[in-house]
Amino acid sequence: MSDLLANLNDPQLQAVTLPPQHALILAGAGSGKTRVLTTRIAWLISSGQCDPAAILAVTFTNKAAKEMLARLSTMLPINTRGMWIGTFHGLCNRLLRAHHRDAGLAQLFQILDSADQLAAIKRLLKTLNIDDEKFPPRELQHFINAQKEAGLRPDAVEAWDDYTRRRVELYREYEGQCQRESVVDFAELLLRSYELLERNEPLRRHYQRRFRHILVDEFQDTNRLQYRWLKLLAGGDPPACLFCVGDDDQSIYRFRGAEVGNMRDFEREFHVANVIRLEQNYRSHGNILDAANAIIRHNAGRLGKNLWTEQGAGEPIRVFEAFSDADEARWIVEEVQQLVRDGALRSDIALLYRSNAQSRVLEHALFSAGIPYRVYGGLRFFERQEIKHALAYLRLIANPDDDTAFARVVNFPTRGIGARSIEVLQDAARTYNTSLYATVPHLTGKPGTTLAQFVRLIEDLRRETARLPLPELVDHVLERSGLRDHYKAEKEGRERLENLDELIGAAANFVAESQADPEALAADHALLADFLAHASLEAGEHQAEQGMDAVQLMTVHAAKGLEFDAVFLSGLEEGLFPHENSILEAEGLEEERRLMYVAVTRARKRLYLSFAQSRMLHGQARYNLRSRFLEEIPEPLTRWLTPPKPRGNAATGFGGYYEPPRGAFATRPAAPAVPSRREEGGLHIGQLVSHARFGQGVIVAAEGSGANACVQVNFGASGIKWLKLAVAKLEPC
C-alpha cells in the first residue's frame, strides 16, 4: 500500500485516499490528474473498499482509457480486461450490446462515424427528393446531433417556424431510416443508453447497485446529456460515489456542446464537501505558469486555483512584434532553426495558431526553409478539401483539358449533374479521344444540356479573369464558382471560408515573391500556371514521413493534452485571438481566454508569443490591435523583441515601425497626427463609405499619411476593419 501512494504530493494523496463521498478534483494543467485517477482506482481495490467490477471510469479518448488500463495493470495483480473503463461512447456501446433487445436494437447493430452519418443523411435527402441546397446535409447533421445531445427526440423539439418544422420532420425520417438499417450514430449511443436506463427501472437499479464508485476524467468537457447519464447511474439508494476530475480553466469545447457549468452544478446538486485543488505543475517553468495564472484571472465565475512549480522561473516569455504575417513567419522559422542548431528536436517544437487558415503562411515559410513539418490533427493547407476545390477551378482556367480538375468540380457545388451524366461523358471522351471538357459539345439530351452549362461557366471565368491580377483572379473565381455561397450555407463552414480567403493571401504573397511587374502579370494568365505549380510542390514536398523528426503545427484546440519544450503562438491580434466572433459576448470571450490559457500551458521550457502590425486577408493588408491577452501578462515575465529596421515589404506595403508600448490593448500605436477630415478623396471620420467586399460602413478612426494612410471602418455585420486607402478602394456614399 505504501508503494502505491509513494511520490504523491499532499493534495494528490488527499484526493486518492478520500473517504467514499462525492468529490470534485480541480486538476490544473500538468498537475498529474491521470496519476491521481489511476491511483484512486488502485487504492479503492487494494484497500478492499470495492472489487474491480464495482468501478466505472469514464474518459474522453480511447487513448486515455488505454493508458489508464495499462497503468492499473502495472500497479495491481489483477486482470483489467473486464473493467468498465472507457469513453462515454464506448461504455454506452457496451451497455447497448448487452441489452440490445431492451434498447430496441438488432444484436449486430452497426455504428456510423461522422462521415458515415453524413452519407446517410445525403442518401435520405435524395430518397425524399429534398433540395440539399435548401437543407444542406452537414447543417442537418449538426441539427440532429444537437437535438440528441440535448436529450430531445423529434416530438420534443420546439419548432418556431416552417423551416425548423421541416428539419424536425427530416430528423424523424432519419431516425426511421437508421432503425430500419440497424445503425446508430455517436449521439444516438448516448441518448439511447440514457433512455434505456431511465425507463427500465430493474436494469437501472442493477447498474446502480453494481457501480459503487464512478470516476470521471475531463469533467469540464461533459455536455448536458452526459451529465444526466452520470447522475442517473449515481442515483441509487445508497448513491454511488462520484469522483469528478476536471479543470474549468481548460473548458474549450463549447462549440461541441460542452458545459463548463456542469462542474458548478455538480458541486451544488451533490452537496460536494470535498473540493481538492491540484495546483503543483510538473510540466512548465515558473514564468510560463505565472503568465497563465495572470491571464485566466480575468475570467469571472471561476472555481479558482493557482498553478506553481518547484522548477524555478526559467526563461522570460519572448514577445515579438512583426511588420507583417510573412515577417512573423520568417522570424518563427529563424528561431526554430536556432533551437535545432542548439540541439533541440524538431518534434519538441510546436507552432500553434487560433485558426486553421493561419497555417498557410507558416507552412510556406517552413517549406521555403526546407524544414520538415507535420500538421497535427488536420490537413496541410493545400490538401484541405475547400482549397483543392478552388485549385481545381483555377486549373481549368489555366488548362480546360485537365480531366482530374474537371471531374472534381463539375458537380461541386451541386448543379444537377449526376453520376450517369458523367459516365456518358467519359464514354464519349474515349470514343472521340478528347478531354472531358472538349467532349461536352458532342453530347445531346439532358447530359449535354447540364454539362454545357458548366462549360459556359468555365469559359466565362477564363474570359472574365484574363486581365486580372492573380489575387483578384482567385477572389473572382471563389465568388463566381459558387464555392463561397456553398460554404456560407454550411453550419460549420466558417473555417473553410477562412481558408478560401487565405488562398487569396497565398496568391498575393506569391506575386510579391515573384518580383514581377504587376501590370505585365495582369495581361493574361501567365502567372496562374506558375502559382498552381507552386501549390502542388508545396503540397507534395517536405511532408514529414512517419517517424521523421518534424516541427509540429496545430490549432490550439488540437494541442490540448499535449506538451512541448518550445511553443510558438502566433497571430495574437484582436479579431484573430481572441476571435472576432467571440469578442462581443462575455461567454465567448471567456472561452477564448481559456483557450489562451491552454496554449500557454503547453510549453515546458520556452514560450514565444508573436503578432503582426499587418496581416493579409482577402489579398489586402488588414491592420489589427494586438491581443488583449498580451496586456494581461505582467511585464516582468516577458522580453519584448524589437524587429530590425523595416524593409519595404511588397506583400503588405507596410513601411513604418513603432516601438511596442505597454498599455491598454484598445489603443493604437503612436501615429502621425491626422486631421478629422481628409482632403484626399473627400474622406473623413464619420464618413459613410462603401467597400466591394464588406459593404457599407462608417469611418471611425484614421492614421498615417500619404501612401501609408489607413482608416478604421465599422462595417456592421462584417466587423471593424483597418484598411489602407491606397489599396482598399473605398467609395464615398
The Cα-based distances of 493 to 141, 443, 554, 564 in angstroms read 13, 35, 19, 31
Question: In this structure, is the dihedral angle defined by the CA atoms of residues 17, 21, 26 and 29, taken in order, positive or negative?
Answer: positive
Are 259 and 252 contacting, i.e. CB atoms less than 8 angstroms apart? no
Q: Which of 149, 185, 188, 217 is catalytic?
A: 217
Work out the end-to-end distance of the chain between its first and last CA atoms, rounded to an integer number of angstroms: 79
Annotated active-site residue 602? The verdict is yes
Buried b or exposed e, range 399-408, using 16+ CB within 10 angstroms: bbebeebbeb
Q: Is 330 exposed, middle or buried (0-12, 13-18, 19+ CB in 10 A)?
A: middle
- Strand segments, DSSP code E, in 247-386 are 274-278, 317-324, 349-353, 373-375
Annotated active-site residue 217? The verdict is yes
Q: Is 445 annotated as a binding residue?
A: no
C-alpha cell at 279: 495546483
Q: Which of 602, 626, 628, 724 is catalytic?
A: 602
Q: Is 638 annotated as a binding residue?
A: no
* Distance from C-alpha of 250 to C-alpha of 263, rounded to nearest angstrom: 12
Q: Which of 12, 33, 496, 638 is catalytic?
A: 33
* Distance from C-alpha of 248 to C-alpha of 344, rounded to nearest angstrom: 33
Q: Is 126 annotated as a binding residue?
A: no
Q: What is the 3-state secondary structure (H, E, C) of 429-480?
A: HHHHCCCHHHHHHHCCHHHHHHHHHHHHHHHHHHHHCCCCCHHHHHHHHHHH
Are 146 and 157 contacting, i.e. CB atoms less than 8 angstroms apart? no
- What's the half-sphere exposure (Cβ side, CA atoms, 13 Å) at 622? 22
Q: Which of 38, 208, 250, 601 is catalytic?
A: 250
Residue type, 391: L
Residue located via cell numbers 513603432: 658
Are 317 and 633 contacting, i.e. CB atoms less than 8 angstroms apart? yes
* Distance from C-alpha of 380 to C-alpha of 221, rounded to nearest angstrom: 27
Q: Is 582 annotated as a binding residue?
A: no
Q: Is 33 annotated as a binding residue?
A: yes
Annotated active-site residue 218? The verdict is yes
Q: Which of 556, 562, 547, 559 lies closest to 578 in space, CA to CA?
A: 556
Cβ atoms within 10 A of the Cβ of 303, count?
17
Annotated active-site residue 250? The verdict is yes
Q: Which of 14, 34, 426, 434 is catalytic?
A: 34
Q: Which of 185, 188, 218, 402 is catalytic?
A: 218
Q: Can you name the residues that pair with 110 across neighbouring β-strands?
A: 183
Q: Is 176 annotated as a binding residue?
A: no
- Strand segments, DSSP code E, in 299-452 are 317-324, 349-353, 373-375
Q: Is 15 annotated as a binding residue?
A: no
Q: Is 231 annotated as a binding residue?
A: no
Q: Which residues are annotated as a binding site for ATP?
A: 27-34
Active site residues: 33-34, 217-218, 250, 602
Q: Which residues are annotated as a binding site?
A: 27-34
